[in-house]
Chains A and B, each alone.
Chain A
Amino acid sequence: MKLTIKKWSAINDREVILNGESKLVFASTAATDQKLEAAYRALGVAYPKFFKMDAQSKLGWLSAEYLCEGVKLFDASVGKDVALVLSNRKSSLDTDEHYQQSLTNEEEFLPSPAVFVYTLANIVAGEICIRHGIKGENNFLISESFDAASLVNYVSILFEEELCQQCLVGWVEAYHGKLRSVFAFIEKTTEGKAGLLFTIENLNQVYQTSEL
């Protein structure tokens, strides 16, 4: 079965990229939170919960949002046929460390429940599923580096086993102020329709293209 990368988005410390074109360049002096907020404001959507998320969930949420260009990708009725497969190296370590610090503050021992809920890597997947009505297979894989081979293999099996009709796949990591995400929207190849074949080589190329 042939699969196509219909669209892809990426966010790094410098810019937001959609299908290889720069959509937004961050101010070089902006802090991580300011970059994420600038990307959110540029979309022109109203989603108050965005401000409650940790940096990694904001990054993943924005990556999915830019992929959809501010429009919901899926009809709720097909949500069960949409899969989401994400990956990164550091899991939720950024927020884990933040939460750990709050636990060690003996003078003011009041750790925040709102921080605690983000001490799992797959919370970002949940935020995206809620936003886009995705109810299909979802998984978050941890690997030493961007592993296009595993991602292509995993997603191909999902399609072959008819566990999904469409899939969002990618990498999302926010750690110590460094942002890096690449999301690709995958569907079955339609003859005559333009698109990049979903292969290890092409997925790697997409990842490298969006590198700083």
Chain B
Amino acid sequence: MSELISKLKQQIVDQLNLADVDPAGIDENASLFGEGLGLDSIDALELILLMQKNYNIKIATAEEGQKIFSSVRAMADFIETHQKA
């Protein structure tokens, strides 16, 4: 799991062009939107793309997306569950 979290952090920084953000400094439990990394609606679309491109996961509904993208850990949990299924 920790390996997946590290990989995800790097992928988020790359996909969202977070040039001055150190992936290791991202708190995997912190919210990605608002207070945490301060991402916006376009970033949300880029995260959907990241999941599709790297993990072949399609987000079905906005509600599901809200849950999955609540934090890096939530993303990693969802990927792991998806890969086991």
Are chains A and B native binding partners rather than an unrelated pairing?
yes
Taking Cβ atoms with an 8 Å cutoff, the residues of A that contact B are 46, 48, 51-52, 108, 110, 112-114, 117
Please tell me if the beta carbons of A114 and B17 are within 8 angstroms of each other in the complex.
yes
Please tell me if the beta carbons of B45 and A113 are within 8 angstroms of each other in the complex.
yes
- How far, in Å, is A206 (CB) from chain B's closest CB? 32
In Å, the complex CA distance between A51 and B19 comes to 6
What residues of A have a CB within 8 angstroms of the CB of B21 in the complex? 48
Taking Cβ atoms with an 8 Å cutoff, the residues of B that contact A are 16-21, 38, 42-43, 45-46, 49, 52-53
- Nearest B residue to A37 via CB reads B19
Give me 10 other A-B pairs in contact (C-beta within 8 A), A52-B17, A108-B53, A114-B45 excluded. A48-B19, A48-B21, A51-B18, A51-B19, A51-B20, A110-B49, A112-B46, A113-B42, A114-B17, A114-B46
Please tell me if the beta carbons of B18 and A48 are within 8 angstroms of each other in the complex.
yes
- How far, in Å, is A105 (CB) from chain B's closest CB? 12
| Sample of 28 A–B contacts (CB below 8 Å) | A48-B18, A48-B19, A48-B20, A48-B21, A48-B38, A51-B17, A51-B18, A51-B19, A51-B20, A52-B16, A52-B17, A52-B42, A108-B53, A110-B49, A110-B52, A110-B53, A112-B46, A112-B49, A113-B42, A113-B45, A113-B46, A113-B49, A114-B16, A114-B17, A114-B42, A114-B43, A114-B45, A114-B46
In Å, the complex CA distance between A46 and B19 comes to 11
- How far, in Å, is B34 (CB) from chain A's closest CB? 15
In Å, the complex CA distance between A161 and B17 comes to 42
- Nearest A residue to B48 via CB reads A113
What residues of B have a CB within 8 angstroms of the CB of A48 in the complex? 18-21, 38
